[in-house]
Amino acid sequence: MPQFITRLMSLTLILIFFSTLPIAAQQPRFAELERAVLAELEETKTPGAIVAIVQGETIVYQKGFGVSNMETAQPVAPEMLFRIGSMTKMYTAAALVSLAEEGKIDLNAPIGKYLEGLPPRLASVTAHQLMSHTAGLADGANLFGKHDESALAEEVRGYKDSMFFTDPGAIFSYANPGFVIAGYLVERLSGESYSRAVQKRVLDPLKMARSTFQPTVAMTYPFSVGHVGEAGKAARVLRPMEDNSQIWPTGFLFSNGQDLARFAIAFMNGGQIDGKPALSAKLIERLSTPNAPVQSQVDGASYGYGLMMRDYRGVRLAEHGGTTAGFASDFVMSPAQRVAVIVLANRSAHLMKTVEKALEAMLPLAPKPQEQETMKFTDREIEEYVGRYAQNSNSRSPFELARAGDGLALKQGQAQFTLTKIGNDLFTVKLPGFSSPLRMKIVRGTDGRIAYLHNRLRALKRLP
């Protein structure tokens, strides 16, 4: 009997040892991913990151890398809160769609029906246009501002019809003010503050226990500070920390890998999590229904409400990223395979090589496509493309396309960057701070003339 007990105790100790190993140690397939994370942190000079992977209804991988604060050298822990930037738009959209499901708003009705005192043109746009970035609004966001939640109403009340750079419905163009207004609609229609409404309608049902808009709540949990610095150089702590309650609905949620994974699990399982409904299947369908083609950045992509859909190496993805002062985040789901990848970084550098390596570890991806062949600009094309492009005629820094020898270049102030033609009205440009070339596309009107230059999800109107 003593020998049996000794063996049983040995077996128990072995089982305890393996149960306490990090997930990566139990699953060697993530070793290559971890090498990629560490290499990209070094390449981008990003102090720290969290990587989480969901499969089905389970978080199969979650780990913190690097440090949460360059000055204290405190390691990143998986439960730490990060700012998630524009990923917040998913939660604003979910809250507003939930109100539509209750019959409190028709997403295709003019918002002036629900918000009094707006200027006439702004009152005529719809919630659908706001959440699909087709309202024709110029983009802009101030990351530093007020801290009182009443500032959201004050912000929207100050909006003017001069915010439009084109007609509603004309083109997809990413615009943060549209989601500020969407958040204000959530506030007015729910009868509660924006943050409280999102908490009750989305965060609480999903049991996203630590996610919050309130900095004074976030600081009571382990959290990472943001870092800034010139591209390729050592990071420093960002002070003061960014916050502006006037635009919380567009990009100011604090969250972590664990909480964001719960949103992914519910989204990919028809709204169910922990065996219970948390979101309606109809709400999920409306968030991920393609509404408008994304003309640049990603080939063949479309935008729903707070989510972008695209095909990637043979797999359909639904995703959204976020960038704010000191932070970058990426949230990528493959609903058909029920796989999600979440990467949070404490510097404004998207860890796209890490995202790709995680997707390769989890999905049946086709081989990487060959790089598109470069083409030569014709004299006629150069003559047609040359000009200035901006969302406002009084813009201080318009994009200027200019002849450069027998090619074309992008000029911004004193800087000039060569454009590479890869297709009809399509070219790429390598800009400082970006690890890969950015796509730019010429968009023509019904008359065949150039109407816009599309770049980084935004449309820039051709100036006279």
Q: Please, what are the averages of pLDDT over each run of 10 residues along the chain (464 residues)?
A: 42 37 55 97 96 97 98 97 98 98 98 97 98 96 87 95 96 97 98 98 98 96 95 90 94 97 97 96 97 89 97 97 95 98 96 96 94 90 95 79 94 88 94 82 95 94 91
Rg for the chain, CA atoms, rounded: 23
- Tell me how many degrees the CA angle 237-240-246 measures, rounded to the nearest 5: 130
As a whole number of angstroms, the distance between CA 376 and CA 424 comes to: 11
Residues pairing with 64 in the sheet:
50
Q: Retrieve residue 116's tokens.
A: 């009094």
CB 62 within 8 A of CB 78: yes
pLDDT at 12: 38
CB 461 within 8 A of CB 409: no
Determine phi and psi for 271, rounding to 5 degrees: 90, -5
The number of beta carbons lying within 10 Å of the beta carbon of residue 5 is 9
The number of beta carbons lying within 10 Å of the beta carbon of residue 103 is 7
203-237 in b/e burial notation, b at 16+ Cβ within 10 A? Answer: bebbebebbbbbbeebeeebbbbbbebeeeeebeb
Element (H, E) at 19: helix 2-19
CB 330 within 8 A of CB 351: yes
Domain boundaries, the chain: 22-368, 379-462
Using CB atoms within 10 A of its CB, is residue 290 exposed (0-12), middle (13-18) or buried (19+)?
A: middle
CB 50 within 8 A of CB 76: yes
As a whole number of angstroms, the distance between CA 102 and CA 61 comes to: 37
As a whole number of angstroms, the distance between CA 239 and CA 423 comes to: 43
Strand order in the sheet with 339-345: 58-66, 48-55, 339-345, 327-334, 315-324, 308-312, 302-303, 292-293
CB 131 within 8 A of CB 94: no
For the chain, the first-to-last Cα distance in angstroms comes to: 93
pLDDT at 317: 97
* Distance set, CA 446 to CA 118, 443, 450, 451 (Å): 31, 10, 10, 9
**Looking at this protein, which amino acid is placed at residue 127?**
A
Using CB atoms within 10 A of its CB, is residue 168 exposed (0-12), middle (13-18) or buried (19+)?
A: middle
Q: Which of 68, 75, 42, 435 is nearest to 233 (CA)?
A: 42
**Looking at this protein, which amino acid is placed at residue 394?**
N
**CATH number for the domain whose boundaries are 379-462:** 2.40.128.50
pLDDT at 1: 44
**CATH number for the domain whose boundaries are 22-368:** 3.40.710.10
Residues pairing with 236 in the sheet:
228
Using CB atoms within 10 A of its CB, is residue 104 exposed (0-12), middle (13-18) or buried (19+)?
A: middle
